[in-house]
Amino acid sequence: MDLGAKIYIAGHRGLVGSAILRELQAKGYTNLVYRTSAELDLRKFDDVVKFFTAEKIDYVFMAAAKVGGIVANNEYPADFIRDNLLIQTNVIDAAYKSGVTKLLFLGSTCIYPKLAPQPLKEEYLLTGELEATNEPYAIAKIAGIKMCQSYNRQYGTRYISVMPTNLYGPNDNFDLESSHVMPALMRKIYEAKVNQSPQVEIWGTGTPKREFLHADDLAKACLFLMNNYESNDIINVGVGEDISIKELAETIQRVVGYDGELLFNTTKPDGTPRKLVDVTKISNLGWKAEIELEAGIRSAYQWFIEHHVAVAK
């Protein structure tokens, strides 16, 4: 991408979009376009088409999505499948209609079958049943991938699909009803420390294993792939290592400085038993994650203290 190219970051205030915006600014890209959901509702096709027609966008980072953890996915399945299908369909089609040069679509590793072999290779997509707790969201993301691939085949577009592993970092969602495991644990353990609670309840057994990628590393990967990747095949982005939820909770406990007990509620769902991605493909292209997990957690916790805790006061 030329430094003066017009680049649209969809979802610029979220965890991923804000990291991509920071990375583009740091690398000297100056012609950046973004809109809040109040300014542009991506679920409304006519509004999206008008926006793309007026702005004459060159490149799109498609980071806008309705996202959440087990609780939110379980309680609002219709919202997750409807909103994500609308958002990605409208942006992908409007990008094509307005002649966008290239689009990067962000999926998720939850698209892979629940019991797929580990680590998760790109070719495992659609080879088995999905995890029930996030199936509507996963199906929407799979539809987005297939839409990008289909537009490439039929219209000759340059749309690439990137599958990041579990993410964390600045601008994460710390709402206990709708957040993912990392920010939920961080907030729970912080509040237990402040309230001097003797224990913190954590859903599940603590045995499932997860891989965690800092959003700033993903942003670097997205810029790298936009400039260096052209395949119609999906590509994973991760660190290639995972830890158990119990180990994660203990790491956060150490970072927060909480001395109480971690109590695992085994009556609650665990979700997918393991979700480690195979990063061979992106490694062979010359990219790898740089931010070590505990250092990343410390920086994410600092952001949480500065933005959530300070604002609450």
Was 42 annotated as part of a binding site?
Answer: no
Short-list 247, 178, 197, CA closest to 15: 178
Residue 115, annotated as binding a ligand: no
Task: State CA 1 to chain mean position distance.
Answer: 23
Residue 203 is assigned to a ligand binding site: yes
106 is in an annotated binding site: yes
- CA gap 184, 247 in Å, rounded: 15
Any binding-site annotation on 17? yes
Instruction: Confirm whether residue 104 is marked as ligand binding.
Output: no
108 is in an annotated binding site: yes
| Measured CA distances, 223 to 17, 121, 226, 229, 302 (Å) | 12, 22, 5, 10, 26
Tell me phi and psi for residue 151, to 5 degrees: -65, -40
Check 59, 96, 112, 137 and give the catalytic one.
Answer: 137
Q: For residue 261, what are the β-bridge partners?
A: 199
190 tagged catalytic: no
**Are 268 and 207 contacting, i.e. CB atoms less than 8 angstroms apart?**
no
Q: Is 165 annotated as a binding residue?
A: yes
Closest CA to 301 of 259, 261, 248: 248
Q: Is 3 annotated as a binding residue?
A: no
Residue 282: closest CA among 169, 164, 167: 164
Query: What single string gives the DSSP state of each residue in 168-217?
Result: ESTT----TTT--HHHHHHHHHHHHHHTT-SEEEEES-S--EE-EEEHHH
Q: Known binder of ligand: residue 236? A: no
Q: Is 98 annotated as a binding residue?
A: no
Is 12 a known ligand-binding residue? Answer: yes
Query: DSSP label at 120?
Result: B
Q: Does the annotation flag 260 for ligand binding?
A: no
- Does 266 carry a binding-site annotation? no
CA-only gyration radius of the chain, Å: 19
The reply, when asked if residue 11 is annotated as ligand binding, is yes
SS3 38: coil
Contact criterion met (CB below 8 Å) for 226 and 179 = no
Q: Is 144 annotated as a binding residue?
A: no
205 marked among binding-site residues = no
Structure token pair of residue 2: 């030329």
Does 77 sit behind a cis peptide bond, omega within 30 degrees of 0 on the bond before it? no
Residue numbers in the known binding site are 11-17, 106-109, 141, 164-167, 180, 188, 203, 210, 270
Residue numbers in the known binding site for NADP(+) are 11-17, 106-109, 141, 164-167, 180
Catalytic residue annotation: 137
Residue numbers in the known binding site for substrate are 188, 203, 210, 270
